[in-house]
Amino acid sequence: MDIETRISLITRNAVEVVMEEELKQLLESKDKPRAYVGYEPSGEIHLGHMMTVNKLIDLQNAGFEIVVLLADIHAYLNEKGSFEEIREIAEYNKKAFIALGLDESKARFVLGSEFQLDREYVLDIHRMARITTVNRARRSMDEVSRRKEDPMVSQMVYPLMQALDIAHLKVDLAVGGIDQRKIHMLARENLPRLGYPSPICLHTPILVGLDGEKMSSSKGNYISVRDDEKNVETKIRKAFCPAKQIDDNPIIQIVQYHIFPRFDRIVVERDEKFGGDLEYESFEDLAKDFVSGELHPLDLKRSVAKYLNNILGDVRKRLSV
């Protein structure tokens, strides 16, 4: 695979790469670059998590070694439970990410507590704290914090640790949702001041919930890998999907970010009286028909449920073993 093809694969469905010129230089100079993403262990692995998993699979196919940080200490600082509860969930998360298609032979799974309590790491937190203002730390954390209005001091430490994870895991490319951008920019600016290289950063979109609002565990407006076939069909059928509207349409997002990356062709089955089946080999063609009204939301929903269950069916089987 030549460099341009690798870059195309790495950047597909990404919001941005900071900076793409640096990415090209990395691919030209390093045989086995390293990319990482960090996850706070979560009891529900849903389509939002799958966004970054899909990107990690792209990166594996483009020749990257993958590091998955199961951030147990971060989760503890962000009030996600006791260490015992968090680590149990982390084991489930590892199993789920592999079931979603990550090649375990090319991926390394690391608990934050395996290195974040080491002397040099802790000293680096203090060094980073000396060059980071409280306002900058708070702005970096606002997008992912559980306490935006009245944050704990622990949450100010969180972005400093996330920046240092990149350095201590010897990462070339940091991957995350666009909500991680402020933390990644903190890393790019401050890590060189501590003697570490500045990472390349790749950001994926944030999916809207099935109701068209922000995806939230409290609202349950998402599809989980635990959802059975009937639940997926019911949730898709009830989902927000305004005709002819592409922006902030959760069904369209599922097609773009989850179905087309895994299938070369999508068939939308329709009764002959409505014009018969429609076949698409690109998201752009499907989106064009949806905007024009040729593709009806109900027909699209039926196909999305079918293809999504195809993807999740394999995951459910692997998780049940």
DSSP 203-222: EEPPPBPTTSSB--TTTT-S
Please indicate, yes or no, whether residues 257 and 171 belong to a single structural domain of this protein.
no
Please indicate, yes or no, whether residues 193 and 248 belong to a single structural domain of this protein.
no
* Domain boundary, last residue among 171, 204, 237: 204
Residue 192: its pLDDT value, please?
97
Please indicate, yes or no, whether residues 190 and 86 belong to a single structural domain of this protein.
yes
Residue 29: its pLDDT value, please?
96
Please indicate, yes or no, whether residues 58 and 129 belong to a single structural domain of this protein.
yes
Please indicate, yes or no, whether residues 237 and 183 belong to a single structural domain of this protein.
no
Please indicate, yes or no, whether residues 84 and 187 belong to a single structural domain of this protein.
yes
**Residue 56 belongs to domain spanning:** 3-204
* Domain boundary, last residue among 136, 169, 204: 204
Of all residues in the chain, what percent carry a pLDDT higher than 90? Answer: 82
Please indicate, yes or no, whether residues 127 and 169 belong to a single structural domain of this protein.
yes
CA separation for the pair 175, 280 (Å, rounded):
29
Please indicate, yes or no, whether residues 80 and 116 belong to a single structural domain of this protein.
yes
- pLDDT tens, position by position, 256-274: 999 999 999 999 999 898 8
Please indicate, yes or no, whether residues 45 and 133 belong to a single structural domain of this protein.
yes
**Within a domain: residue 216?**
no
H helical segments located in the chain:
3-11, 20-29, 47-61, 72-77, 83-99, 119-130, 134-141, 153-168, 181-190, 229-238, 250-254, 283-292, 297-320
- pLDDT tens, position by position, 196-222: 999 999 999 999 999 999 887 778 899
What mean pLDDT is predicted for residues 118-139?
A: 93
What mean pLDDT is predicted for residues 250-255?
A: 97
CATH code for position 235 = 1.10.240.10
* Domain boundary, last residue among 143, 171, 204: 204
CATH code for position 133 = 3.40.50.620
Please indicate, yes or no, whether residues 64 and 115 belong to a single structural domain of this protein.
yes
How many structural domains does the chain have? 2
Does residue 149 surpass a pLDDT of 80?
Answer: no
Please indicate, yes or no, whether residues 174 and 26 belong to a single structural domain of this protein.
yes
Does residue 152 surpass a pLDDT of 80?
Answer: no
pLDDT higher at 42 or 240:
240
State the DSSP H helix or E strand holding residue 230, giving kind and residue range, or none if neither. helix 229-238
**Within a domain: residue 209?**
no
**Within a domain: residue 222?**
no
Does residue 146 surpass a pLDDT of 70?
Answer: no
Pick the closest to residue 19 from 228, 215, 237, 172 (CA basis). Answer: 172
- pLDDT tens, position by position, 18-54: 999 999 999 999 999 999 999 999 888 999 999 999 9
Please indicate, yes or no, whether residues 199 and 233 belong to a single structural domain of this protein.
no
